[in-house]
Chains A and B, each alone.
Chain A
Amino acid sequence: MIQKKVCLLGTSGVGKTSLIARYVDGSFSENYLTSVGVAIKKKVVRVDDSDITLIIWDLAGDDKFQPLERAYLRGASGYLMVADGTRGMTLDHVIKMRERYAEQIGSTPCALLLLNKSDLESRWEVDEGRMSGLASDGLTIIKTSAKEGTGVGDAFEQLARRMIQPA
């Protein structure tokens, strides 16, 4: 079976662990529980008649308290860069991460930008102009809600599909 390593990147509190919990276990908790270090989950996804095992690396939020270790990205086939739409600066942060880890992430098409907390879209600090700018910069943006499940499966499946496509 094909195995692919996927890393979720983003600063703390954007919902990386919640997105994984929603996708892998179908669960969600309202309480914010911070992550420390790395936890790994697996899920088999069927894409175009192929079963792919996603090895999903839940990396603790990159911040001044616990900066991301570059070695954790080694061997990753795909990235989900996560920002919280209600906190515009989390989008700035993940964009900076993309630049800081450009050597690992490169210009791979297997990197999607997830704007999480779409259930709170009326309170978003990220406007359509900003999103269209990022899209024209080559980023695929998916609005997700770990709380309601919106876009979550689509994000992982879209990434899986890209990862198995020949370069």
Chain B
Amino acid sequence: MPEAASPAQSVLEALGFVLFAREESGALRLLGETPAWLGVLWPALAENDGVLPIADASPFFENFLIDAEECWNAGGSGQAKSGPWVEDGSGSEAQLEATALTANGQPLLLLQRLGEEFEAKKNVLQHARETVIAHQRLNSEIQKKEILLHCVADEMTAALANATTSLRLIEMEDNGPRTQLLLGLANRATQEQQALIQRILGVFEDELRGAYGESGLTKTNAHWDTVLRQALDAATPLFAEKGVSLSAADAATSEIRISLDAMQLERVVGNLLENALERTPAGGTVMVRTANEPETLCLQVEDNGAAIAPQICESLLAKWDPANAAGLRLHFCRIVVENCGGEIGCSPLSGGGNRFWIRLPKSSAAA
């Protein structure tokens, strides 16, 4: 028969706890009466004279008993906690948490029915996780919108440049007064369109400034060495976590400046590094090389990943399809690099892996 409950056990029971003593035989014997909820969950407990048939408990509980045994064998004041779990008993379920401990040399197992506490914890976690997921989705949406906006501006600028060129060619011809009037109107319209594009990009830049802080934006003449070092520093923990080496070959680039926003350029380099990291298995190496060419600077990021077929290489850097969210990072690189008159490309390496590269025009302006 189960032992009579002491006042302390009665208090524990009122708080949703039950106490088991671990006997020499390894059996777990309930101290005190079997509470109704436990009787429903493990009916065999009452039938078995207060000894818990382990086979009737869930695999989770069985698994926890291994940690509990270690704790009991170690003795001392250490505890082993199971963490919360859902025990699915005979047609009923309960949220439980167990703690193994030793008191006065007696190995004990404290079992708690979590009930309201479990629900409260669940509500907090639900809210926290929903917030994290919403934040991730929002960040992703911002990046997509950013790219879409640049795509639209890119397309509009190209179309406008064609229109402007055509108008100039027509202007060179012998036009009557009516045609000249229409040309004037058309020229004004193209100028207005150009101003509109600049305004749209200006608003976008203002938003960026608001999101990242005034100090994060430098209009032009990004200092290449600073940008590269910051991008490498930011990426280093990610590489360390995955166990991938990140090596950068030194090059004489200390005076080089690029006609680009420093923050955008850092994101381009960061995106290329993250892309390489994703492709490289643990234990591999990503090599970063910078070549100082007469008019341009070339950055090469080489990974150890599976070689990408040339046709896939092309599609990775192709124009972004708004219906397909894949490849945003690389597409962002393409937009930024091409907008400043640069080039981007990728190719498989002969010995395995891939090389992603960008070639950027150096700024002629002084620092």
**A residues whose Cβ falls under 8 Å from a Cβ of B:** 5, 12-13, 32-34, 36-40, 55, 57, 60-61, 63, 65-66, 69, 71-72, 74-75, 87-89, 92, 95-96, 99, 122-130, 132-133, 135-137
Contact = CB atoms under 8 A, between A and B. Distances in A.
B306 A137 contact: yes
Contact of A133 (B130, B242, B278): B278
B72 to A, nearest CB: 15
B301 to A, nearest CB: 15
B294 to A, nearest CB: 33
A87 B328 CA distance: 12
Contact of B312 (A61, A65, A129, A135): A129
Interface string B127-146: 01110110011001000000
B158 to A, nearest CB: 26
Contacts of B136: 87, 89
A57 B83 CA distance: 14
Contacts of A36: 84, 95, 118, 121-122, 125
B129 A34 contact: yes
Nearest to B312: A129
Contacts of B64: 71
Contacts of A124: 325-326
A163 B6 CA distance: 49
Contact of B133 (A13, A40, A96): A13
A138 to B, nearest CB: 9
Given A40-B60, A74-B66, A125-B326, A66 B125 contact: yes
Contact of B242 (A33, A61, A99, A135): A99
Given A55-B59, A87-B136, A137-B281, A129 B129 contact: no
B67 A71 contact: yes
A130 to B, nearest CB: 6
B243 interface: yes
Given A125-B326, A129-B316, A63 B129 contact: yes
Contacts of B281: 137
B326 A38 contact: no
B85 A34 contact: no
Contacts of B241: 96, 99
B86 A127 contact: no
Interface in B43-68: 58-60, 63-64, 66-67
14 contacts: A32-B133, A34-B122, A37-B84, A39-B88, A71-B63, A74-B66, A87-B133, A99-B241, A99-B282, A127-B327, A128-B326, A129-B316, A133-B279, A137-B306
A117 B251 CA distance: 45
Interface in B284-310: 305-306, 308
A136 B278 CA distance: 13
Interface in B324-339: 324-328
A159 B126 CA distance: 30
A61 B129 contact: yes
B23 to A, nearest CB: 24
A126 to B, nearest CB: 7
A61 B241 CA distance: 19
B130 to A, nearest CB: 7
